[in-house]
Amino acid sequence: MVDSSLALPLYHQVAGVLRQRINDGEYAVGGKLVSEDELAAEFSVSRATIRQAVGELVVEGLVIRKQGSGTFVQPRNPKVLQQRFRGSLGDLIRESHSAKTRDITITHDERLPDQIANALRLDVPRGTVVRRTRIMSNEPFAYTVTHLPPDLGALLTAPSLRSRALMEVLIEQGVRLTSATQAIRATLADAEVGSRIEAGLGSAVLYVERLVSDASGRPVEFVQSWYRGDRYEYTVNLDLAEAGEGLYEQLA
């Protein structure tokens, strides 16, 4: 989990992994972190290192220490700026054609995190999970994990995903995709992400989370992607065409 040979301090590496778990919902808001002894054993570091790592998260407002009770996850900062833009699912599918895929694994009947199972509206938190590394010019630039309900996961095969976008495969199987909500933020690579995209533990990466729905409004896939900042650029075209004359009158 942590590497003592790196220049990055051990406590900072541990804090990065814990931060990622909180952001991914593995530690739910209001939930209690395991004890310092358990974390020290998991990461093979001293309790002092764990205490320093958790202290970093306290300063960031991610967790709070309660005397005699433990350390608990805080609600996400409400002051985070949220912006919404309109885009095209078609553009997203076409963009995927410019990259190749390797290391594809498909696991059926896997236990899904509660946060993701709730987003997919699953009564039972189990489904299909697809893990892929995306490459360009023979170099990895992204690691993607897609969660699907069991019936839709059964439509996928590894060969079909080597040359086509997952959404494209679903469409070919008769699933009518119509919309998606996507959020993007900066985060740090944990051990799994770092090994997949050849980035050091704790390296800054771009994290993308997307929930795709079909024509009936049913959520059909929950996607998590981590991109190397030095090999990926996200561009949005903005204009005032839809604002109409009213906006100019307000600004005048």
**Per-domain residue ranges for the chain?**
10-73, 89-228
Class of the CATH domain delimited by 10-73: mainly alpha
Q: How confident is the model at residue 223 (pLDDT cuts 50, 70, 90)?
A: very high
> For the CA atoms of the chain, what is the radius of gyration?
20
- Average the pLDDT over 161-182 and give the result: 85
How would you class 135 by CB atoms within 10 Å of its CB: exposed for 0-12, middle for 13-18, buried for 19 or more?
Answer: middle
Q: Which residues contact 70 (CB under 8 A, 6 or more apart)?
A: 32, 33, 35
Q: Which residues contact 105 (CB under 8 A, 6 or more apart)?
A: 130, 131, 132, 158
Which residue did the predictor score with more confidence, 7 or 115? 115
C-alpha span between 104 and 93 (Å, rounded)? 18
Is the pTM here over 0.85, yes or no? Answer: no
Which residue did the predictor score with more confidence, 112 or 232? 112
pLDDT (0 to 100) of residue 81: 44
pLDDT per residue over 18-58, tens digit each?
887 887 778 888 889 989 999 999 988 998 889 888 888 88
Collapsing DSSP states into helix, strand and coil, what is residue 34?
A: coil
Range with the poorest average pLDDT among 35-44, 202-211, 219-228:
202-211
pLDDT per residue over 80-105, tens digit each?
444 455 556 666 666 666 678 888 99
pLDDT (0 to 100) of residue 83: 45
pLDDT (0 to 100) of residue 59: 74
113, pLDDT greater than 80: yes
Tally of helices (H runs) and strands (E runs) in the chain: 10, 8
C-alpha span between 195 and 201 (Å, rounded)? 8
175, pLDDT greater than 70: yes
Q: Which CATH superfamily is domain 89-228 in?
A: Chorismate lyase-like (3.40.1410.10)
